[in-house]
Structure 1
Amino acid sequence: MSVISRLREKPWLAHAAGMDPALQATPERWPQRTALLFMLAISTVLFFLFTITFLGRTQLPDFQALAGEPWQPLTNPALLWLNTLWLLLSSAAMQLALWQSRRLRQKVSPWLALATLLLLLFLAGQWQLWQQLLAQGYALRTNPANSYFYLFTAVHGLHLLAGVLALAKVWWQRRTPVQFSRSLQLCTTYWHFLFVVWLLLFALLTSSADTYNTLAALCGF
């Protein structure tokens, strides 16, 4: 449409459809997506604040990193790597379920069940790591690094459990295709978000004291 034609229009007059065509195409509202983005923003701020306070705490003399020296428990993070693999595969299963939902919905349930199982394996692995640390004497209050490890992993685990509850609700929406596809997309986004958060926590918790000092200096501590 030329500029002259546009200037000759009379938007106050009714069109055949009853209104200006430019006003007819309104974006589809999806409040659930807005709510999810708001929740992810809150979670991001929460983990960010925890990280900042953690880096500040590393500069006090009673802080002892859990990795770096051969005798520290997280110097060899083999179990953490295994747990990370479970969470990665769970996130991949969610993505496959989303792709399948756009093709054959009857094939979605096995992928959702697999994603849930892999996530539960991740949580079981985290609990096993807690037990190992407690058995080695790394209790909650014996070292600030211990406290933050339990805090980070517990809050992250609670977020994952919330995802399982949301996925259970999605499971019951399979008979309403539109709502099911949207809800599954939101759950998949949430799954991927928590996987990325875990990668950052993994890197943070298995860093050495020198790395903490460098990061703290960059943050102004």
Structure 2
Amino acid sequence: MEEQLEYIEGAEQPISMHPKKFALWLFIVSVVMVFAGLTSAYIVRQAEGNWLEFNLPEIFYYSTGIIILSSVTMHWAYISAKANNMAMLKLGMTLTTLLGIVFVITQWYSWVALVDRDVYFVGNPSGSFLYVFTGLHALHLISGVIFLIIVLISTLNYKVHSQNMARMEMCTTYWHFLGGLWIYLFMFLLLNH
């Protein structure tokens, strides 16, 4: 009987995760798989020939800087939340939300720049892929901006602090993921256009 009690006492605790965080990670993995499939299809289709070569619009460089800056402000907001520095948390979340909105606007203007260069969604597959990449990323980014707005409202209502970090952690993870995804897509397109 004593041996059984010792065994039970020495049992390890299972690793647990907030169910919403787990769902977020599943969603992130599914998005990674979609973009991995698309970039693979891009490479295969490009190798077949009949591929329009063009330079990426200059606005892509600006939007990349904006998304990197927004990740910095998001991390600043996260650290401020952990330290219960409410003024810096509010400022960080406000800046991140504004930068996210500006990024979405730059994506629109990148499409305008593509049309000015006679690169369309319908026509050569190189343009089609570019619109699909940027459009899908923009769709996910819009959901990220909505998430930022929700967390910003929670922040303004003092519902985000060191004792209530789940929503903030999820938003931070998702926003950094979206930034990393854009950098991946931008580098991929630079190297394979």
Task: Give the TM-score, by structure 2 length.
Answer: 0.86
Q: Quick one: which amino acid aligns to residue 75 of structure 2?
A: Q
Runs of 5+ consecutive residues of structure 2 not aligned to the other structure = none
Higher gyration radius (CA): 1
Distance 1:23 1:168, change over 3 A: farther
Q: Where in structure 1 do 4 or more consecutive aligned residues deviate above 6 Å? A: none
Equivalent positions of 1:1-221 (< 5 A) are 9-12=2-5, 20-22=8-10, 27-67=15-55, 74=56, 77-107=57-87, 108-173=89-154, 174-175=158-159, 177=161, 180-208=164-192
Deviation digits for residues 17-59 of structure 1, max 9, x if unmatched?
Answer: xx95445955554112211111111000000001111111102
Q: Quick one: which amino acid aligns to residue 203 of structure 1?
A: M
SS at 2:186's partner residue? helix
Report if aligned partners of 2:51, 2:126 keep a CA contact under 8 Å in 1: yes
Distance 1:139 1:103, change over 3 A: same
Task: Give the TM-score, by structure 1 length.
Answer: 0.76
For 1:4, the equivalent position in structure 2 comes to none
- Deviation of residue 171 (structure 1)? 3.2
Report if aligned partners of 1:86, 1:122 keep a CA contact under 8 Å in 2: yes
Q: Quick one: which amino acid aligns to residue 87 of structure 1?
A: I
Report if aligned partners of 2:24, 2:170 keep a CA contact under 8 Å in 1: yes
Deviation digits for residues 185-210 of structure 1, max 9, x if unmatched?
Answer: 1111111111111111112222356x
Q: Quick one: which amino acid aligns to residue 33 of structure 2?
A: V
Distance 2:123 2:14 in 1: 58
Q: Quick one: which amino acid aligns to residue 196 of structure 1?
A: G
Aligned residues: 189
Q: Quick one: which amino acid aligns to residue 35 of structure 2?
A: F
SS at 1:206's partner residue? helix
Distance 1:26 1:49 in 2: 34
Distance 1:66 1:84, change over 3 A: same
Distance 1:146 1:28 in 2: 44
Instruction: State percent identity of aligned pairs.
Output: 27
- Deviation of residue 115 (structure 1)? 0.3
Q: Quick one: which amino acid aligns to residue 30 of structure 2?
A: I
- Alignment root-mean-square deviation, CA: 2.5
Higher normalized helix content (fraction of residues): 2
Report if aligned partners of 1:90, 1:118 keep a CA contact under 8 Å in 2: yes
